Amino acid sequence: MKHTKPIDRIILHCTATPAGREVRHDDLRRWHVDERGWSHIGYHTLVTLAGECIPCRPEQYQGAHTRGQNNGSIGIAYAGGLSPRTNKAVDTRTDAQRAGIERAFDAATLQYGALHEDGSKRLLIFGHRDFANKACPSFDTHAEYGDVWAVYP
C-alpha cells in the first residue's frame, strides 16, 4: 500500500539480534515474508554491521515496522540491539553503523524532508519504543539525535 500521508518522520529500529551477528536482506526476507507471511520486508532500509545501507521495502510503500505509524514514515533498522550473552536490550551499534544510520537519515531527509526558512530540510526522528512497549532500538533516539534530523542540501 502506498503512503497516503506525506512522509514526515523516520522511525529507527534494531533487528533484536545479538551484538556482532550480521543480518542481511535475505534474513529479513525469511523472517518477515517466509515466517510471518508479510508481503515484503517491513523496514525500508537495513544498516549492516559494516554500516552498509541496504534497501529493503521500496520507500513509496508504507512499511510494516511500527503499528499505527507506518503511513508517513520511513523505517530504518540496524543489525543488533541485544547483548550476545544475556539477550537483553543494549546499544550494540558499531561506529560504522552509527555513520550508516546517519547516512540513511540524510538520504530520507533530503528526499522527503520539509524545507525550512534556513534552507534546511527536516524530518522528525523516533525510536520504535516511542510507539510500542519495547526496548527497540535499544537506546534513546531523542537523547542521541534530538527530535528532528536536519540536512542542508
Domains of the chain in sequence order: 9-151 (3.40.80.10)
Residue 118 pLDDT > 90: yes
Residue 10 DSSP class: E
Q: Which residues contact 82 (CB under 8 A, 6 or more apart)?
A: 14, 16, 17, 18, 19, 88, 89, 90, 92, 138
Share of the chain above pLDDT 90, in %: 96
pLDDT band at 20 (very low <50, low <70, confident <90, very high): very high
